[in-house]
Structure 1
């Protein structure tokens, strides 16, 4: 890659929220004042020591950060190649990386005087994190969740309701993450005065992609600090699963200017990336378009209509990707591959049996790619994959696909 691009890796977005031709803010006139207010508040918060002191305190004493960087010894021995580390963000309070970002957004919401928080969720982890932080600060919480995901993520639906959130099943479209985000945006337009939209990924109108990335970059910053005393150098390869891409962007961002570090994002290949679009691999099988306030790669037909993708993983079941990922793909700084449902299920089971860790189906996609490439790499090659969520939420889905009646 061209040397003159290196210094630009971490300069995006520009003043209009664009990463190259991606990003931006394509929103209604009603929402534009709120977007501009949020951008201004975040710019103030970024340079406010009190804001970051509060974040650090909550990350440490409420979330449980730093999360461990774990050497997967038995998996490494089983594969016989590269040395595999797992960044264990599934050990965070609420069981995933989502709370890293939710804390920041809700602190901003309170600084802006908002008392009602809305969110979209797919796998339910962002919804649970939002409901958790709202309970912590006494805020009203409404979570939009596709009806399909309500059924396949029943444990997280119950958790959200226990935490006091109202969970609204969305029946439009295929009843998945895209449809939940559509209804959340409709709510926001209707309730602009007291409502803050807490977006769960590095997508949406500017400043959300950059803001969510900044909050999630605690993941990669910790990896940099943790790997040095263990190995004395940076990892050779970073691997993370991608739906919208917040856990991946959080891991990748602090390493973008480290040219020697290979970066791989893993999309949901579903039943296979082909013309039937039975997958959610936007970079592998999509093209640029506009959805949910930003321009990025999308699954769409010849007329630009958004197609219904598929993934066994509710958190990856989204027909787009964060705009910064689209940009990193185009300039060649990061590589993006896809993993099928079948491969993710196999990785899920191998992780359980070799490391005693039950992963979510989302990071199981990343782990499946680790399993593919690690055996052919030298034994001194260091891989860090982001174990971004725990798998208790997915046991019903996995049992169904394995033909197991979990009720008996």
Structure 2
């Protein structure tokens, strides 16, 4: 990747993202049949109109404050920083403290409110780790809409606490037994159900993926994370962090954080993908690190694919990261050099999971632990005084039993 002059990079970042056709450079768009394109265009038009209304903005802002508990704090993890050599400071954006325990509630509320304003009769969603499913079930209960969640059987067994929560909240849980029985297959299943009646159903995508306008919508709803974090860090330290870091599967929590710092070119943006068990077929889900441009689920981005362009099987210890593609804006940020992407394996993830738990009393989601693992290694080699800001995108209640069994705790 060629390093661009700062003036050229700034010009690229100041362009609308996405453009009117939903493209981030060559990525994104609407790779869908004409009938579905008309439906996607209707959603985009409704979103752009409704989001500007005072009633919608005030209702969402009120729910952020009084229902979700925003703003989420930024916390200096002093003991973890010392454990990593004490040269650098590690700060955490505590999205794990949100109602439902993760960043997913940010876009779930926005999408559920949009569905209500559009007069839809049912919300359909997919989920991997279950956090998006819990958040959508929560938001739909709040606005009074039926909710149907599609989830792979492997993830249902692994993430049982979240399955129970979805059922308690009144969602109709649809087990998916096809393919690898994980997130990609849940997306396929949910989309097929949505297509039975797209005029009345609303498909609430759980990340910055899918055809336009979903990558834009989910990013916009998650951008509250970056806006808060930037203001909080400036107020506390009188300066911005040197490096902001987040895990990347589809990429919603990362874009939520990155969005607050995109044009602050002195701030490094780092996304961390799952390298899983290694680089064999079906052993990882490091799409930006090892994938190539391709098209699936109605959008163009990097993806892990075979010679025929079909998605490869993927794996991650973190169910929310095992997706064979990634949000198109991440692909664009990688190509223009604004963000860097790295991968860490299961063992590093588990080590970070335990270290944060035992040094700070904070049990992170396995997804978030990938970002922590990269930061812990980077902090050991950083220049003295370097300040890292990590999006702690979710809490690890859902993963505690699995990790205990995996590590024989």
Give the CA deviation at 1:277. 4.2
Task: Indicate which of 8, 19, 24 corresponds to 1:4.
Answer: 8
1:36-185 aligned at under 5 Å gives the runs 36-79=41-84, 80-185=86-191
Task: Indicate which of 293, 296, 305 corresponds to 1:300.
Answer: 305
Matched position secondary structure for 1:321: coil
Cα-to-partner distance string for 1:5-51 (whole Å, 9 max, x where unaligned): 31322521111111111100112333222211110011112322221
Task: Indicate which of 190, 211, 214 corresponds to 1:205.
Answer: 211
Find the aligned partners of 2:108 and 2:276 in 1 and give their Cα distance. Answer: 28
Which stretch shifts more, 104-113 or 120-129? Answer: 104-113
- Where do 5+ consecutive residues of structure 2 fail to align? none
The answer (yes or no) to whether the contact 2:116–2:143 under 8 Å persists in 1 is no
Find the aligned partners of 1:148 and 1:258 in 2 and give their Cα distance. Answer: 41
Matched position secondary structure for 2:41: helix
Matched position secondary structure for 1:120: strand
Give the CA deviation at 1:275. 4.4
Task: Indicate which of 328, 339, 350 corresponds to 1:334.
Answer: 339
Cα-to-partner distance string for 1:45-65 (whole Å, 9 max, x where unaligned): 232222111111000000000
1:263 matches 2:269: yes
The answer (yes or no) to whether the contact 1:145–1:167 under 8 Å persists in 2 is yes
Give the CA deviation at 1:139. 0.8
The answer (yes or no) to whether the contact 1:30–1:189 under 8 Å persists in 2 is no
- Where do 5+ consecutive residues of structure 1 fail to align? none
Find the aligned partners of 1:71 and 1:7 in 2 and give their Cα distance. Answer: 34
Find the aligned partners of 1:355 and 1:249 in 2 and give their Cα distance. Answer: 26
1:251-330 aligned at under 5 Å gives the runs 251-272=257-278, 274-330=279-335
Matched position secondary structure for 1:96: coil
Give the CA deviation at 1:383. 0.5
The alignment yields a C-alpha RMSD, in angstroms, of: 1.0
Give the CA deviation at 1:263. 0.4
The answer (yes or no) to whether the contact 1:267–1:365 under 8 Å persists in 2 is yes
